[in-house]
Amino acid sequence: MSDAPRIAEEGWAPSLADVSAALRKAIGVFGEHGSDRWLQLGEIALDLETGSVAELLARLEEMSGVEIRRVLLGVDLPSWQRMVESDVLERAAAGSAEAVDQVLRSVGDWERESLRLLLELTPAQTKRHVLKAVRLFAEQVFAEREAELTVALEREAAGARAKIAASPGERAVLEVTGGYEYLREPEFDRVILFPHFAAPPWLLLMERRDARVIGYPAAPFADDAEKELRERLLRLGRALGDEKRVEILRRLAEEEMTLGELVVSVGLAKSTIHHHLVQLRAAGLIRLRGNARGYWYSLSPEGRDASVRLLGDALG
């Protein structure tokens, strides 16, 4: 398939070091840990009819600064309402200094930096900064790849719909995401699944007022079966090419464990364990179970068997 989209396994977007200084500055307006703020814009995108960047920009233009801040702050989201009272979130979005202080005292260190930078802006400044960042990203990065990415994501979504039809309910989430066993959350009536090329093999977990939103990594398209086989072998090789990852895998084969339990068991920092788990997930070797209240990792029997078959195919 010479015209097949070529989506890199590690993601299609360039690193911040490779974009213009203006775009770096625009994206960095919410700080080093501001990715969750930008991810919140997905709530707006889910309401669009076509899902195009042009439509997203037009919608942002229509919204007031306060409306955009409500989205970025998660005013309508159950997880935020459990941490901060709804009226406090509303007032913080509108610019109340007292409410801003209450919000910042209620969140963890990871969230505090990006929220502080957001809430230091006026609503008008917030809208101006968000529009500038989205517009520059669209013009300098996304425009060249939009058609290619759209075709690839539509193919991925069509495959997901077929899996959902064959395996309705929570089993569908496991099948579509390739190893995430979602545990139902009482505050959500439904689950929305969408494929992404943004940061494979990460799952992107978001919320709407009544729905858990799960972004799962779309499979990269290869030009031919031989290339696809090589890419799968490389992912497996990377996963098993570190003795600590092999140790983690062996422990998960014995019992299901949380991230914290793995930290104690393997004796590595949480961030290091998390990096190893990402590599093992990329190869399909482990399964994730849970929801925002807690997650557990285990060996994936399907992934283990698929890896054995993969090696058999590669060796003829």
The domain ranges of the chain are 16-142, 146-217, 225-314
Measure the CA–CA gap between 196 and 198, rounded to whole angstroms. 6
155's tokens:
């193919």
pLDDT surpassing 80 at residue 167: yes
Q: Report how far Cα 263 is from the mean position of its chain's Cα atoms.
A: 23
pLDDT band at 1 (very low <50, low <70, confident <90, very high): very low
Residue 256's CB: how many other CB atoms inside 10 A?
A: 12
CB 221 within 8 A of CB 154: no
2's tokens:
């010479």
CB 190 within 8 A of CB 167: no
Low-confidence winner among 152-161, 226-235, 292-301 (lowest mean pLDDT): 226-235
Measure the CA–CA gap between 221 and 7, rounded to whole angstroms. 6
Measure the CA–CA gap between 223 and 62, rounded to whole angstroms. 41
311's tokens:
């090696």
pLDDT band at 8 (very low <50, low <70, confident <90, very high): very low
Low-confidence winner among 76-85, 196-205, 298-307 (lowest mean pLDDT): 196-205
Measure the CA–CA gap between 236 and 103, rounded to whole angstroms. 43
* pLDDT value at residue 171: 87
CATH number of 225-314: 1.10.10.10
Residue 288 three-state SS: strand
* pLDDT value at residue 220: 67
**Which of residues 314 and 172 earns the better pLDDT score?**
172
* pLDDT value at residue 72: 95
pLDDT band at 294 (very low <50, low <70, confident <90, very high): very high
pLDDT tens, 86-142? 999 999 999 999 999 999 999 888 789 999 999 999 999 999 999 999 999 999 999
Measure the CA–CA gap between 30 and 28, rounded to whole angstroms. 5
Print burial letters for 79-99: b (CB count within 10 Å at least 16), e (below 16): ebbeebeeebbbbbbebeeeb
* pLDDT value at residue 148: 87
pLDDT surpassing 60 at residue 2: no
**What's the pTM?**
0.84
Give all strands (DSSP E) within 22-67, no chain letters. Answer: none
Strands 190-196 and 211-217, sheet pairing: parallel
* pLDDT value at residue 5: 37
pLDDT tens, 179-230? 899 999 999 999 999 999 887 778 888 998 889 999 998 876 555 667 777 8
- Average pLDDT of the chain, as a whole number: 88
pLDDT surpassing 80 at residue 286: yes
pLDDT band at 311 (very low <50, low <70, confident <90, very high): confident
